[in-house]
């Protein structure tokens, strides 16, 4: 068994760096939220706490806080097998004060947390995070083996940080402690559907799926096999199907598209399925980035199956994904802890394209299905199920239906669906 290793107006605030010599305060974007959520296997909760962090002078608040919050992912995954949407927190009341060559930052945070339904749901949670992100090397050296054990190297000890480990003793000067409040997320939804009508409004279904190599570039590798399974499924499900295999490009191992027709409600419609294979998204390079951006600009469904790269691959996908004003997209991220890793780029891009008055959270035309925990190979089952479901808009599946076919071990969550309007015909 292998592991696929691993809104938004207020996020503009996170990217602001204060360089004033006195204490500064910002509350811009306080009224925003992270978007709404649904999950079959997790209770979606909201964790609220007051935090602080010491950063290098000139460091942006967003980067310093994001670096610190990575350790919250480790704490939740090692403690309760849950996770937080650490890459897209709702921050307010940020204050920054210079202290020599460092900046002391205080903030209020709210994060969506995927809490396993088979675990008792508390009303509070003790948050324990490194106090100084300029001294993480020393922090990791000191606590690796004492409060968790690194899985991928000491420099990524945040992934395995466990302040509740049996023999963990922590010096108070090294951490910030906060008593967080856990409540049911006020924006959790039930019974929502993808926007089937928007997917098919141009009588065309465009699917773009990116697969990463899992072990080695051989016909037996899961990424290689799953790509071929999707393309074979497209050929067998479509009329007049034609497969086109492009010449490999720098960073792209394989690039194929199957195009054909399907008859729905007596009308013939087009379907295009593109499968791209790479060693690793984050290092694939400019030719892949350009190809991926162009392909996804018109895509209705975007799928990624592969290693998360401890977040590097997931954020590269978000950064380079194409988008068009008014174009609805359903994104499925099937890798380790993708919910926690994903940053704000996809949503920020849609706010810019559609306007904050039309799409204030970047979710009106975007839904994301993401795994909160490590995802293990399912032999293409969930990807093929998603493709098949979109071919049958007369019998639409809800997000809960989609997640019912994904292992409970992955703790899958959908977010951004709160503003969806599609409902099946009665």
Q: Are residues 354 and 307 in the same domain?
A: yes
- 190 belongs to a structural domain: no
Q: What is the pLDDT along the chain (426 residues), one digit of tens a residue?
A: 233 333 333 333 333 332 222 222 232 333 333 346 889 999 999 999 999 999 999 999 999 999 999 999 999 999 999 999 999 999 999 999 999 999 999 999 999 999 999 999 999 999 999 999 999 999 999 999 999 999 999 999 999 999 999 999 999 999 999 999 999 988 788 889 999 999 999 999 999 999 999 999 999 999 999 999 999 999 999 999 999 999 989 999 999 999 999 999 999 999 999 999 999 999 999 999 999 999 999 999 999 999 999 999 999 999 999 999 999 999 999 999 999 999 999 999 999 999 999 999 999 999 999 999 999 889 999 999 999 999 999 999 999 999 999 999 999 999 999 899 999 987
Q: Are residues 98 and 203 in the same domain?
A: no
CB-facing half-sphere around the CA of 214: CA atoms within 13 A: 25
Residue 105, token pair as written in the block: 């930052």
pTM as predicted: 0.90
Out of 163, 184, 205, pick the residue that ends a domain.
184
Q: Are 319 and 341 in contact (CB under 8 A)?
A: no
Q: Are residues 269 and 231 in the same domain?
A: yes
Rounded distance, CA 259 to CA 114, Å? 38
- 1 belongs to a structural domain: no
3-state secondary structure of 339: helix
Rg (CA), the chain: 22
- In sign, the C-alpha dihedral spanning 327, 332, 335, 338 is positive
Dihedral class, residue 187 (left if φ above 0, else alpha if ψ from -120 to 50, else beta):
alpha
Rounded distance, CA 86 to CA 71, Å? 9
Q: Are residues 348 and 243 in the same domain?
A: yes
Place of tokens 């992934």: 159
3-state secondary structure of 163: coil
Dihedral class, residue 269 (left if φ above 0, else alpha if ψ from -120 to 50, else beta):
beta
Q: Are residues 148 and 35 in the same domain?
A: yes
Query: Whole domain around residue 140: which residue ranges?
Result: 9-184
- 58 belongs to a structural domain: yes
Q: Are residues 227 and 89 in the same domain?
A: no
Q: Which of 31, 27, 111 is nearest to 61 (CA)?
A: 27
Q: Are residues 254 and 140 in the same domain?
A: no
Going by C-beta distance under 8 Å and a sequence separation of 6 or more, which residues neighbour residue 86?
A: 66, 69, 70, 72, 73, 111, 340, 341
Q: Are 140 and 133 in contact (CB under 8 A)?
A: no
- 189 belongs to a structural domain: no
Q: Are 351 and 14 in contact (CB under 8 A)?
A: no
The CATH number that applies at residue 331 is 3.40.50
Q: Are residues 231 and 163 in the same domain?
A: no
Q: Which of 65, 82, 86 is nearest to 315 (CA)?
A: 86
Residue 350, token pair as written in the block: 């849609």
Going by C-beta distance under 8 Å and a sequence separation of 6 or more, which residues neighbour residue 325?
A: 353, 354
Out of 129, 155, 184, pick the residue that ends a domain.
184
Q: Are residues 202 and 113 in the same domain?
A: no
């Amino acid at each position: 068994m292998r592991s696929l290793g691993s809104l938004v107006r207020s996020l503009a605030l996170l990217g602001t760096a204060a360089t004033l010599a006195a204490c500064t305060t910002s509350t811009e974007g306080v009224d925003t939220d992270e978007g709404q959520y649904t999950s079959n296997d997790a209770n979606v909760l909201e964790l609220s706490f007051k935090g602080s962090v010491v950063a290098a002078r000139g460091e942006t608040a967003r980067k310093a806080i994001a670096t610190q919050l990575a350790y919250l992912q480790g704490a939740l995954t090692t403690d309760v097998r849950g996770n937080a949407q650490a890459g897209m927190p709702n921050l307010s009341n940020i204050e920054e004060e210079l202290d020599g060559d460092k900046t002391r930052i205080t903030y209020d945070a709210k994060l969506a947390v995927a809490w396993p339904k088979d675990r008792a749901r508390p009303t509070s949670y003790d948050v324990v995070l490194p106090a100084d992100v300029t001294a993480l090397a020393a922090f990791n050296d000191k606590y690796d083996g004492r409060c968790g054990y690194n899985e991928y190297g000491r420099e990524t000890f945040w992934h395995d940080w466990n302040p509740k480990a049996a023999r963990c003793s922590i010096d108070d000067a090294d951490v910030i402690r906060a008593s967080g409040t856990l409540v049911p997320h006020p924006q959790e939804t039930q019974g929502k559907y993808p926007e089937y009508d928007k997917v098919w409004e141009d009588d065309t279904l465009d699917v773009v799926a990116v697969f990463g190599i899992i072990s080695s570039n051989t016909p037996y590798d899961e990424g290689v096999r799953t790509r071929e399974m999707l393309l074979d499924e497209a050929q067998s499900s479509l009329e007049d199907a034609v497969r086109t295999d492009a010449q490999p490009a720098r960073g792209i191992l394989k690039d194929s598209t199957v195009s054909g027709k399907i008859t729905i409600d007596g009308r013939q419609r087009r379907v295009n399925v593109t499968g791209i294979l790479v060693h690793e998204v984050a290092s694939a390079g400019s030719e892949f980035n350009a190809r991926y951006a162009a392909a996804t600009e018109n895509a209705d469904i975007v799928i990624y199956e592969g290693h998360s790269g401890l977040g590097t691959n997931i954020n590269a996908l978000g950064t380079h994904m194409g988008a068009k004003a008014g174009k609805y997209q359903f994104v499925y991220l099937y890798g380790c802890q993708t919910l926690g890793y994903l940053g704000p780029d996809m949503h920020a891009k849609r706010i810019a394209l559609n306007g904050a008055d039309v799409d204030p959270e970047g979710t009106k035309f975007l839904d994301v299905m993401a795994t909160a925990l490590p995802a293990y190979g399912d032999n293409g089952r969930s990807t093929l199920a998603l493709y098949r479901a979109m071919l049958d808009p007369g019998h639409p599946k809800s997000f809960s239906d989609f997640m019912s076919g994904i292992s409970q071990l992955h703790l899958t969550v959908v977010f951004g669906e709160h503003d969806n309007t599609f409902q099946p015909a009665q």
